[in-house]
Amino acid sequence: MNDYEVVVLGGGPGGYVAAIRAAKLGKKVALIEARELGGTCLNRGCIPSKTLLRHAEVIETIEKAKQWGIETGEMTFSLSKMLDRKDAVIQQLRNGISYLLKQGKIDVYQGIGNLEENGKIAVQLAEKKEIIRGEKIILATGSRPLVPAIDGIEEAAYFTSDTIFDIEKIPESMVIIGGGIIGVELACIFASLNVPVSIVEMSDRIVPSEEPEASKALAKALKKKQITILTSTKVVRVEQRDGSQLIHVESDNGKAQILDTEAILMAVGRAPNTSSFDGLNLQMDGPFVKTDSAMQTSNPSIYAVGDVTGGWQLAHVASAEGVVAAANAAGQTETVDYRMVPRCVYTSPEIASVGLTEADAKRQGIDYKVVRVDHAGNGRALAQDEKEGFTKLIAGTKYGEILGVLMVGPHVTEMIAEPSAFIHLEGTVDELASMIHAHPTITESLYEAAASWIGKGVHH
d(CA 307, CA 310): 5
Which residues are tagged catalytic?
439
Residue 71's CB: how many other CB atoms inside 10 A? 7
CA distances from 322 to 290, 309, 337 (A): 15, 12, 13
Long-range Cβ contact pairs of 300-303 (< 8 A, separation 24 or more): 301/119, 301/135, 301/136, 301/137, 302/115, 302/136, 302/137, 302/138, 302/139, 302/277, 303/136, 303/137, 303/138, 303/139, 303/328, 303/329
Reference 46, options 316, 408, 339, 336; nearest CA is 316
Reference 351, options 206, 254, 237; nearest CA is 206
